[in-house]
Amino acid sequence: MKPMQLLTLTIAVLILFCQNAYSERETAMTMTLESSAFTHMGEIPKRYTCDGADVSPPLAWSGVPEDAESLVLIVDDPDAPDPKAPKMTWVHWVLYNIPTDAPGLAEDVSPKALPAGTKEGLSNWKKTGYGGPCPPIGRHRYFFKLYALDVALPDLKKPGKAQLEQAMQGHILARMELIGTYQR
């Protein structure tokens, strides 16, 4: 084999190796978010709504980027009050500074059972904690949005969604969402 052919072959092998390593890294860095209570775009069981026990569903995630410093969870409903004529996004749950090594949240998680360091924000009911689906009319979509940030945020003193999103700007490494639906 001529030296130029050998060099070309070596470069081709290195490119292929680097592409495969990059693909494996990308796959490893893909965040997932799921619930054992409902599937993506599936119906949220009554237990997790105002028509049931109104407890938070179990959530599990994986693939958090290695360089992430904290996680944020926002649950909201963009179909309020009527999916045929939405006028606002209703916020159901706000959590931030969730440790990156937390694998998820248990069903009916209480403030004391949140992973150490997790802080709570305010929902549109002006309270902390989970408030389940309670649509006045039609089938609504509920977005469970998980963000990986490159920082732990300062104590924002029970922020609303808008204040938290402002603090997150420029710090989002990855985002994943799980959507459930509910109709009364």
Segments making up each domain of the chain, as ranges: 1-30, 31-182
Burial classification of residue 10, based on how many CB atoms lie within 10 Å of its CB (0-12 exposed, 13-18 middle, 19 or more buried): exposed
Q: What is the pLDDT along the chain (184 residues), one digit of tens a residue?
A: 554 444 444 344 344 444 444 333 343 459 999 999 999 999 999 999 999 999 999 999 999 999 999 999 999 999 999 999 999 999 999 999 999 999 999 999 999 999 999 999 999 999 999 999 999 999 999 999 999 999 999 999 999 999 999 999 999 999 999 999 999 9
Q: Which residue has the tokens 């402002």?
A: 166
Cβ proximity of 35 and 61 under 8 Å: no
Cβ proximity of 20 and 67 under 8 Å: no
- d(CA 92, CA 101) in angstroms, rounded, equals 24
Query: Candidates 3.90.280.10, 3.40.190.10, 3.90.1010.10, 3.40.50.1980; correct CATH number of 31-182?
Result: 3.90.280.10
- d(CA 37, CA 106) in angstroms, rounded, equals 11
Strands, E, within the chain: which ranges?
32-34, 42-43, 59-62, 70-80, 88-98, 104-105, 119-120, 140-149, 172-182
